[in-house]
Amino acid sequence: MQMEFMRCCYICLFCCLLSLLSCTPKNYNPEQEQAYIEADNALWEYYEAEGERLMELYAEDEELLYSKAVELEEYSDRRNRELAIEYSATPSGLRRCFMLRNDLSKTTLKEILKELPRDLRKSNAAKAIKEHIATEQIEVGMDYYPVDVVTTDGSRIEWDKYNGKNIFLLYGGLGCMGPSGRRDLAALREEYSKDDLAILIYYPVGSLEELQELDIEFASDYTFISELMTDYSHFKIKYGCQATPTCYFIDREGIVTLKTEGLPDMVALRELIK
């Protein structure tokens, strides 16, 4: 009797596994991948064309132009999220979901992972999303997290040497911030000694040579750091950053007291440096 019961249990379990496998496609559909690329291209082509149209139409009314531009931005962001979710079972759609991870709930991301074709479940994007879900992201008021990174000479950074110091930590963005932003940052470097303020710039590069090239390109007195892991890095996931630059101010107690996308107001930043 017991053997018969066990046999029935095994049969039920086997049927459930077959059902699960049959519901989850083994491979993603290349046609869907192409469809996502076309839909994504169409979205950003519309965004650019509509932006130009608004500039011409409301050139004499700055207030209305700003309002319409905000509406366009909100529509494009919403549609970007919708397309990423709709096509999350494709390589490009899944990568976009990782890029938008801070704008998607972790519940939504869990559902996306559950529905992935089997050949995408072990992809770097899927692993990174899974890590993001399991990680508590750094927010203002939390202790900073000393990620294992190297500097341009290839040595591991010793975070202990920053104990008791202010740290201005940037996720990339020296090129994005433009000449005026770089001047503001350079002025900050000149105003405070390295004992008063350490300026660290993380770049998501894949090799030490790339990190060294950035150091040479910007010819600065900042400390360039990286995990050499490109996009799917522990730093990006732990610090919850995607846009460049994303900036963090860490006080002498090791507490993150400021987080901004783009450079912060320099007057406000100086007030935090004690």
Domain locations along the chain = 30-134, 159-272
Angle between helix 124-134 and helix 106-114 axes, rounded to 10 deg = 140
Q: Which stretches within 135-265 are classed as H helix?
A: 178-191, 208-218, 234-239
Fold of the domain spanning 159-272: Glutaredoxin (3.40.30)
pTM, two decimal places:
0.86
236-245 as b/e, with b when 16 or more CB fall inside 10 Å?
Answer: bbbbbbbebb
pLDDT 10s digits, 211-250: 999 999 998 899 999 999 999 999 999 999 999 999 999 9
Confidence of residue 5 (pLDDT cuts 50, 70, 90): very low
Residue 137: name the closest of 108, 103, 88, 173 by CA. 103
Q: Percent of the chain at pLDDT above 90?
A: 88
pLDDT 10s digits, 88-129: 999 999 999 999 999 999 999 999 999 999 999 999 999 999
Confidence of residue 274 (pLDDT cuts 50, 70, 90): confident
